[in-house]
Amino acid sequence: VKRVIVTGASGFIGRHSLRWLIERDYAVDAVTRSGTGSPSAPEGASINWHRADLHDPAARRDLIAAIRPTHLLHFAWCTEHGEYWSSPANLDWVATSLALVREFADAGGERAAVAGSCAEYEWTGGDPLSERGSRIAPGSLYGVAKDSLRRVLAAWAGDGGPSLAWGRVFWVYGPGEDRSRLVPSIAVPLLAGEPARLANGHLRRDYVYVEDVARAFVALLDSDVQGPVNIASGKAIELGRLAERIAEEAGNGDLLTVDADPGASGESLEIVADTGRLNREVGYETGVELDDGIARAVASWR
Amino acid sequence: VKRVIVTGASGFIGRHSLRWLIERDYAVDAVTRSGTGSPSAPEGASINWHRADLHDPAARRDLIAAIRPTHLLHFAWCTEHGEYWSSPANLDWVATSLALVREFADAGGERAAVAGSCAEYEWTGGDPLSERGSRIAPGSLYGVAKDSLRRVLAAWAGDGGPSLAWGRVFWVYGPGEDRSRLVPSIAVPLLAGEPARLANGHLRRDYVYVEDVARAFVALLDSDVQGPVNIASGKAIELGRLAERIAEEAGNGDLLTVDADPGASGESLEIVADTGRLNREVGYETGVELDDGIARAVASWR
């Protein structure tokens, strides 16, 4: 029996992962700090929900001892929009994640997949970012924290620790997203007949639909691929074009203002993933095209 | 008032740091897991000893709340000879160190100095290892753990965290050293009239006397230098010559066997520090020459 503990299970990506774990015959133990249940859990599916503060060592150990998972899918992290980039809570999540993976392995856990970030890479643009070729030089405390956690876990995995995969998530969008993030920050006002504004419309980023991200993580967990794997679409879209596509679905396109300042320096013009590892080694291809994903996301906020 | 909390205070380096902290007018709170007191504490000096398991969050927070330190000198880590290179306890120490520094800063702590290691560098030999020019590519779980801790703390220090210095310690020797380490593993048998053997006598390493290391850390803490600083002598000695020097002091040199295999690959022939930052920015020069340090160390085991 494959028994997986999912942290951040009611979070943006986590909630979408549950049905795909069940589809792959995992017994699912879902951990959340606050709520229980999830709108994305399939009808009638058996999910054991646990409410626990992972920062609490006693609660964490009780959880592992009660579940005795063979697999770990670790999404939980600080994600307060706009604040998580430089929040000292990143230190807490490095510490708690190390403890969690160690306790998981000590209790017989075999295989873990942990959520990393494209923020681990140096963002100087140019070629698609690849796990083996691109420079790691995070420009934020969040990126450094994720990268440093990965370094320790990977070194341990190579020296007696559990089998470990690390999914580097690019720009995720879709139903369940925090309303302050880019896609809903345009869609929700337009749906309500209110003005919406986008900065940096000239930038190009790799946007990927949340359900694809969740499915890719489940495929990654279920594989024996070791180390970092980009979780992305492999395609960059100009943010201005993304905003227009949202307006096509939400209506009230005349209330949308797109600012662009191609001459401004600082932010890299294009950041896109090389998805070769995900496609060929994990065997997962993202399936939801942007046009369709935006339609679904906007429908969820209607 | 400068009030410093010293972790690992009865450890090899920590115990030697106390007198120099007092000399620089610090009120000293010394934390140890097991014992209390220290043979190196000056007579009559006022040191508050605390027995605490730093891995225990409640004990750690009680300690910080009771002491309210302005300064932190963090030596504690797993140090079991031969095992610490790949022990999963390294994960625990990364987690505990992050929590400790965060709690220290949250309680008003201003300045921390943390013990790092030359094991953070890539050991391919060649030029002296420098903080700004040399490649960071640790070859062990221990080195990765120290390096990753440093990355997170440095990113935080640059983004709202406390003032932080990081001392990269090279090969330390001297009184109080674990008997299984290189210098006592030769000196103690020879003193007892028993045979001693050294492998890899052809390698050259940067050996530095423990009291110099402790004094350098205190100088580093008392400075406003940020980031990594090599704590070393800046001079490499051939291990075979080091063993001969030990035998000169301990006697029974005829019982010493030195193996050397200059043709063997794998270990870098010479690893030595560039001590420019320590000397010029911190203003500390190591003062105990190897001939003298070996004499003192051997005398301590006689």
Residues of A in contact with B154 (CB under 8 A): 144
Residues of B in contact with A152 (CB under 8 A): 90-91, 94, 141, 144-145, 148
Shortest distance, CA A108 to any CA of chain B (angstroms): 15
Specify whether the CB–CB gap between A222 and A24 falls below 8 A.
yes
Across chain B, which has 302 residues, the per-10-residue mean pLDDT values are: 96 96 96 70 76 96 96 95 92 98 97 98 90 95 98 95 97 95 97 96 96 98 98 97 98 96 80 98 96 98 95
> In this model, does residue A46 exceed pLDDT 90?
no
Q: Do A90 and B152 touch (CB under 8 A)?
A: yes
The residues, any chain, with a CB within 8 Å of residue B248's CB and separated by 6 or more, are: none
pLDDT digits (tens, 9 = 90+) for A9-44: 999 999 999 999 999 999 999 999 876 555 555 555
User: At A135, is the pLDDT very low, low, confident or very high (cuts 50, 70, 90)?
Assistant: very high
Shortest distance, CA A5 to any CA of chain B (angstroms): 20
Residues of A in contact with B91 (CB under 8 A): 98-99, 101-102, 152, 156
pLDDT digits (tens, 9 = 90+) for A86-106: 999 999 999 999 999 999 999
Specify whether the CB–CB gap between A258 and A240 falls below 8 A.
yes
Q: Do B156 and A95 touch (CB under 8 A)?
A: no
> In this model, does residue A149 exceed pLDDT 70?
yes
Shortest distance, CA A141 to any CA of chain B (angstroms): 5
Per residue, the 3-state secondary structure of chain B, as one string, reads: CEEEEEECCCCCCHHHHHHHHHHCCEEEEEEECCCCCCCCCCCCCCEEEEECCCCCHHHHHHHHHHHCCCEEEECCCCCCCCCCCCCCHHHHHHHHHHHHHHHHHHCCCCEEEEEEEHHHECCCCCCCECCCCCCECCCCHHHHHHHHHHHHHHHHHCCCCCEEEEEEECEEECCCCCCCCHHHHHHHHHHCCCCEEECCCCCEEEEEEHHHHHHHHHHHHCCCCCEEEEECCCCEEEHHHHHHHHHHHHCCHHHEEECCCCCCCCCCCEECECCHHHHHHHCCCCCCCHHHHHHHHHHHHC
ipTM for the assembly: 0.93
Shortest distance, CA A273 to any CA of chain B (angstroms): 24
Q: Do B102 and A86 touch (CB under 8 A)?
A: no
